[in-house]
C-alpha cells in the first residue's frame, strides 16, 4: 500500500462520511426537539434518491433541479408523517415516539415500493464524467458535489438554529418545553418543523449519493443504521458531533475495507456503535447525560 | 385585569385548588401568600395555561382564558415567571430575552421588541453585562433576573411571578423585589406568589392567603402585615 492508495481510501472515506454526517444530522435535529430516535431517517434518505431517480428518468429533470424538488417532496412526507402519527398523541414520550417512527419507516418504505417499484435506480453525476485529481487522490466529480453540498447543508443548518427566530425557538423548546410554551412557542409545531427539516436533509443525502452508489427501496435501512451510529459517535443531539461522527465513521469504514478486508466494511459501524454505547454513551462531543437538563 | 372565580384544578385525580376566587385590578401589585404545598404553583400554572382547570372561570381584561394553552395566553397579555426560573440554559442571555418576545417578533414588531429589550436591560444592568454568556452559567440571582426579563419581553399586561425569592440570598432578593416594585410605575399589573410573606406584603397593595388550596384571608397588604394572628399563624417567623 503506497501513499496515493492511502489518500484514495481517505478521500472515498470522506465522501461516504459526508453522507453519514447528513443522515446523522437528521437524527440529531429530531432528537434535539423530541428526545426520540427517528427510525424513519434512513427511509427518507432512500426516498430522496428514489424520487430523484424517478423524476430524472420520467421527466428528465436536471439533477441540480432535483435537489430542491426532492427535498420538498420528502419534507412533505416528513410533515404528513408527523401530523398523522405523532401530533395526535396525548402523551408523547420519547419511547413511544421512537416506536412510532419504526411504523413510519415501514409505511414509508412500503409506499415508495408501491409507487416506484423495487428495481435499483440511478442518477447521472450532477456534472461531468471525467475523474478529477484532488491532493493526489482521484475522485469522480460527484464526490466534489457531495463535499460541497454537505458543507452547505451543515453551515445552513447551523445558521438556521443559531440565527433565525424559528431555529432559536426550536432550541428553546428542546431545552424546556413548558417554559417554551410560556413565551408563546407552540411546542408541538416545533416538533413538526424538526420532522420537516430532518426529512429534507435526508432527501438531500439520498439524492447526492445516488449517482455514486445507485439506490433501491432497501437502501434506507443500512444508511439509517450508519447515520445513527455516526450520530451516536459524535454525540446525539449535537450538530458538530454529527459532522465529526459521520466523517470518522466513513474514514474507519474505508480504511478497514482497504487495509483489512472489504468484508469488514459494514461491521465497522456495528463495532463503533457498541464501543460508543459501552465506553462513551454521550459520544465524542456530547456532554455526560446527567448534565442534560 | 384578572378575575378568577371558583377555580378548581389539580393533577390527575388529585384536587389541589378548591374553588379559588380572586381578583387583581389594573396597576395593582397583589401577592398570594401560602406555605409550601398550599397550591400557589398550581394556581399560577393554571392561570398561565400550562395546566388545564377542572372547573371555574378565568378572565383576563374580561376575556375568558380558562383552558387556553400557555402559548395562546401569553399572546393575550399574561406572562408567567415560573417557579425555579426555567430559563433556557443552553441559550445565551440575549437569545433568552429575544425568545421572550417570540409572539411579538412573529407578528413583525421588531422595533418595539428592541425598545422593550432596552428597558429590560436598564432594569437589570447585570444582564446587559452578560448578554453573550450562556444562561446556564449565570448565578441564581442573575437567572431570576433573566427569567423576569424574559417574561417582560412579551410586554405583558399582567405579570405572574412564582416565588422569585426561592433559593436566593437576602440581598439578591431585596434587589429583585425592588425591580418588581418598580414595575408599578410602568403600567404592568403584578400577581406575586411567595412564601416570603413579609417581603412580598411590603411591596404589595393587597394580599391573599392560600392554605391547602383555599383562600382563607384577603385584605390590604398593610392590614395583613399588622394583624398579629396572621403573622403568627400563617406567615411563620
Ligand atoms: N406535578 C404534580 N403532580 C401531582 N401532585 C402535585 C404536582 N405538583 C404539585 N403537586 C401537589 O399539589 C399540591 C400543591 O403544590 P404546589 O402548587 O406546588 O404548592 P406551592 O407552590 O404552594 O408550594 C401539593 O400537595 C403537591 O404535592
Ligand atoms: Mg410553588
Q: What is the pLDDT of residue B184?
A: 85
Does ligand 1 lie within 6 Å of residue B36's CB atom? yes
Could B71 and A186 be called an inter-chain contact, meaning their C-beta atoms sit closer than 8 Å? yes
Bridge partners (DSSP) listed for residue A132: A139
- For the stretch B131-147, pLDDT in tens is 999 999 999 999 999 99
Model pTM greater than 0.80?
yes
Q: What is the pLDDT of residue A179?
A: 96
CA–CA dist B7, A148 (Å, integer): 59
Domain hosting residue B138, numbered range: 2-234
Does ligand 1 lie within 6 Å of residue B16's CB atom? yes
Does ligand 1 lie within 6 Å of residue B84's CB atom? no
Chain A interface, best mutation among B79, B90, B100, by max A CB count within 10 A: B90
Q: Which of B7, B10, B37 to mutate to test the pocket of ligand 1 (most atoms within 8 A of CB)?
A: B37
- Sign of the alpha-carbon torsion through B228, B229, B235, B237: positive
Give contacts of A187 with chain B, Cβ < 8 Å.
Answer: 71
CA–CA dist B29, A60 (Å, integer): 69
**What is the average pLDDT across B187-199?**
90
Count of domains observed in chain B: 1
Query: Would residue B49 be called left, alpha or beta, if left means φ above 0 and alpha means ψ between -120 and 50 degrees?
Result: left
Ligand 1: centre distance to CA B52 (Å): 14
Q: How far is CA A182 from CA A282, B64, B103, B201, in A?
A: 30, 18, 10, 26
Could B50 and A178 be called an inter-chain contact, meaning their C-beta atoms sit closer than 8 Å? yes
Residues with Cβ within 8 Å of A100's Cβ and at least 6 positions away in sequence, in order, are A85, A86, A89
Give residue B66's Cα distance to chain centre.
17
Q: How distant is the Cα of A165 from the closest Cα of chain B, in angstroms?
A: 8
Could A182 and B69 be called an inter-chain contact, meaning their C-beta atoms sit closer than 8 Å? no
More confident residue, B35 or B229: B35
- For the stretch A9-67, pLDDT in tens is 999 999 999 999 999 999 999 998 888 999 999 999 999 999 999 999 999 998 889 99
Ligand 1: centre distance to CA B214 (Å): 14
Question: Percentage of chain B surpassing pLDDT 90?
Answer: 80
Q: What is the pLDDT of residue A287?
A: 59
Q: How far is CA A119 from CA A50, A52, B82, in A?
A: 10, 14, 56
CB B201 within 8 A of CB B207: yes
CB A279 within 8 A of CB A232: no
- Residue ranges of A 185-224 with Cβ closer than 8 A to chain B: 185-187
Could A179 and B88 be called an inter-chain contact, meaning their C-beta atoms sit closer than 8 Å? yes
Nearest CA to ligand 1 atom 5: B11
CB B23 within 8 A of CB B72: no
**CA-based nearest residue in chain A for residue B159:** A182
pLDDT band at A167 (very low <50, low <70, confident <90, very high): very high
* CATH number of the domain where residue B227 is located: 3.40.50.300
**CA-based nearest residue in chain B for residue A182:** B70
Give contacts of A179 with chain B, Cβ < 8 Å.
Answer: 82, 86-88
3-state secondary structure B136-198: HHCCHHHHHHHHHHHHHCCCCCEEEEECCCCCCCHHHHHHHHHHHHHHHHHCCEEEEEECCHH
Q: Which grid cell is A276?
A: 460508543
- For the stretch B70-101, pLDDT in tens is 999 999 999 999 999 999 999 999 999 999 99
- For the stretch A214-272, pLDDT in tens is 999 999 999 999 999 999 999 888 889 999 999 999 999 999 988 888 887 888 888 88
Q: Whose grid coordinates read 464501543?
A: A275
Radius of gyration for the alpha carbons in chain A, expressed in angstroms and rounded: 19
Q: Which of B10, B13, B16 to mutate to test the pocket of ligand 1 (most atoms within 8 A of CB)?
A: B16
Predicted confidence (pLDDT) at residue B236 exceeds the cutoff of 60: no
Chain B interface, best mutation among A183, A238, A239, by max B CB count within 10 A: A183
Ligand 2: centre distance to CA B45 (Å): 10
Residues with Cβ within 8 Å of B140's Cβ and at least 6 positions away in sequence, in order, are B167, B168, B172
CA–CA dist B38, B134 (Å, integer): 34
pLDDT band at A290 (very low <50, low <70, confident <90, very high): very low
Does ligand 1 lie within 6 Å of residue B47's CB atom? no
Closest among B126, B158, B148 to B81, alpha carbons compared: B148
Closest among B102, B151, B103 to B123, alpha carbons compared: B151
Ligand 1: centre distance to CA B37 (Å): 6
Closest among B89, B94, B86, B90 to B132, alpha carbons compared: B94
Chain B interface, best mutation among A181, A182, A293, by max B CB count within 10 A: A182
CB B191 within 8 A of CB B161: yes
Q: Mean pLDDT in chain A? A: 91
Q: What is the pLDDT of residue A262?
A: 80
CA–CA dist B149, B121 (Å, integer): 8
Name the pairing type of β-strands B2-11 and B14-24.
antiparallel
Closest among A136, A39, A172, A12 to A96, alpha carbons compared: A39
Q: How many helices (H) and strands (E) does chain A have?
A: 11, 2
| SS3 (DSSP) at A92 | coil
Ligand 2: centre distance to CA B10 (Å): 13
Amino acid at each position: 500500500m503506497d501513499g496515493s492508495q492511502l489518500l484514495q481510501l481517505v478521500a472515498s472515506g470522506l465522501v461516504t462520511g459526508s453522507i453519514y454526517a447528513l443522515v446523522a444530522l437528521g437524527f440529531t435535529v429530531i432528537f434535539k426537539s423530541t428526545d426520540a430516535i427517528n427510525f424513519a431517517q434512513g427511509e427518507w434518505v432512500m426516498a430522496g434518491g428514489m424520487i430523484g431517480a424517478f423524476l430524472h428518468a420520467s421527466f428528465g429533470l436536471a439533477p441540480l433541479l432535483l435537489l430542491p424538488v426532492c427535498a420538498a417532496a420528502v419534507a412533505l412526507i416528513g410533515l404528513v408523517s408527523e401530523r398523522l402519527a405523532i401530533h395526535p398523541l396525548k402523551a408523547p414520550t420519547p419511547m413511544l415516539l421512537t416506536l412510532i417512527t419504526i411504523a413510519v419507516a415501514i409505511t414509508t418504505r412500503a409506499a415508495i415500493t408501491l409507487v416506484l417499484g423495487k428495481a435499483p435506480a440511478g442518477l447521472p453525476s450532477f456534472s461531468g464524467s471525467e475523474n478529477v485529481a484532488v491532493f493526489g487522490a482521484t475522485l469522480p466529480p460527484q464526490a466534489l458535489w457531495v463535499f460541497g453540498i454537505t458543507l452547505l447543508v451543515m453551515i445552513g443548518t447551523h445558521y438556521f438554529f443559531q440565527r433565525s427566530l424559528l431555529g432559536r425557538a426550536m432550541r428553546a423548546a428542546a431545552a424546556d418545553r413548558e417554559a417554551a410554551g410560556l413565551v408563546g412557542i407552540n411546542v408541538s409545531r416545533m416538533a413538526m418543523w424538526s420532522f420537516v427539516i430532518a426529512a429534507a436533509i435526508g432527501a438531500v443525502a439520498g439524492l447526492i449519493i445516488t449517482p455514486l452508489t445507485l439506490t433501491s427501496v432497501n437502501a434506507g435501512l443500512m444508511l439509517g443504521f450508519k447515520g445513527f451510529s455516526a450520530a451516536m459517535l459524535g454525540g446525539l443531539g449535537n450538530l458538530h458531533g454529527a459532522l465529526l461522527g459521520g466523517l470518522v465513521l466513513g474514514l474507519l469504514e474505508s480504511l478497514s475495507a482497504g487495509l483489512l478486508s472489504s468484508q469488514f466494511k459494514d461491521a465497522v459501524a456495528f463495532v463503533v456503535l457498541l464501543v460508543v454505547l459501552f465506553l462513551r454513551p454521550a459520544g465524542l462531543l456530547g456532554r455526560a447525560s446527567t448534565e442534560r437538563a | 385585569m384578572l378575575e378568577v372565580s371558583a377555580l378548581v384544578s389539580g393533577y390527575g385525580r388529585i384536587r389541589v385548588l378548591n374553588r379559588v376566587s380572586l381578583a387583581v385590578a389594573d396597576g395593582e401589585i397583589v401577592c398570594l401568600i401560602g406555605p409550601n404545598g398550599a397550591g400557589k404553583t398550581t394556581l399560577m400554572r393554571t392561570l398561565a395555561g400550562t395546566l388545564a382547570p377542572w372547573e371555574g372561570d378565568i378572565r383576563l381584561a374580561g376575556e375568558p382564558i380558562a383552558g387556553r394553552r400557555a402559548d395562546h395566553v401569553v399572546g393575550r397579555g399574561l406572562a408567567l415567571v415560573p417557579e425555579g426560573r426555567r430559563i433556557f440554559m443552553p441559550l445565551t442571555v440575549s437569545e433568552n430575552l429575544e425568545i421572550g418576545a417570540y409572539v411579538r417578533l412573529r407578528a413583525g414588531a421588531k422595533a418595539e421588541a428592541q425598545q422593550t429589550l432596552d428597558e429590560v436591560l436598564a432594569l437589570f444592568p447585570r444582564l446587559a453585562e452578560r448578554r453573550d454568556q450562556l444562561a446556564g452559567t449565570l448565578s441564581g440571582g442573575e437567572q431570576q433576573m433573566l427569567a423576569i426579563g424574559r417574561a417582560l419581553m412579551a410586554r405583558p399586561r399582567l405579570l405572574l411571578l412564582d416565588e422569585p425569592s426561592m433559593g436566593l440570598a437576602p440581598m439578591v432578593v431585596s434587589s429583585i423585589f425592588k425591580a418588581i416594585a418598580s414595575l408599578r410605575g410602568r403600567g404592568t399589573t403584578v400577581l406575586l406568589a411567595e412564601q416570603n410573606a413579609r417581603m412580598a406584603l411590603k411591596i404589595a397593595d393587597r394580599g391573599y392567603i392560600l392554605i391547602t388550596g383555599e383562600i382563607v384571608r384577603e385584605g390590604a397588604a398593610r392590614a395583613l402585615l399588622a394583624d398579629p394572628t396572621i403573622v403568627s399563624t400563617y406567615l411563620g417567623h
